[in-house]
Amino acid sequence: MRSQCFSVATLIAAVSSGPALSYDMPYDPYPWCAFYSGEGGGGTNCGFLTLEQCRATVSGIGGFCGPNQFYNPQRPASRSRKR
């Protein structure tokens, strides 16, 4: 039990000490995702600039392509630093 509490505390500290993410406007420049089918539940790869790239990747291995729900071509506005 003591080691579980230490593991949970370590995980919380690691996650909370990471860089802050802005959920207002996530930046993802890739508009297409490959959704792989398979016995292990498949997987997802949202790293395609064109639909043709995505289709070539899933061709022969099973799966389909679809739009990336997090696609946002605009980078988030840079924040000014306070001194």
Question: The domain containing residue 45 runs over which residues?
Answer: 19-75
**Does residue 14 sit within a domain?**
no
Over residues 1-56, the pLDDT tens digits come to 544 444 554 445 444 444 544 455 567 899 999 999 877 678 999 999 999 999 99
Q: How many domains does the chain have?
A: 1
**pLDDT classification of 68: cutoffs 50, 70, 90:** very high
**Does residue 5 sit within a domain?**
no
**Does residue 9 sit within a domain?**
no
Q: Does pLDDT of 72 surpass 70? A: yes
**Does residue 13 sit within a domain?**
no
Q: Rounded to an integer, what distance in angstroms lies between the CA atom of residue 80 and that of residue 82?
A: 6
**pLDDT classification of 65: cutoffs 50, 70, 90:** very high
**Does residue 69 sit within a domain?**
yes
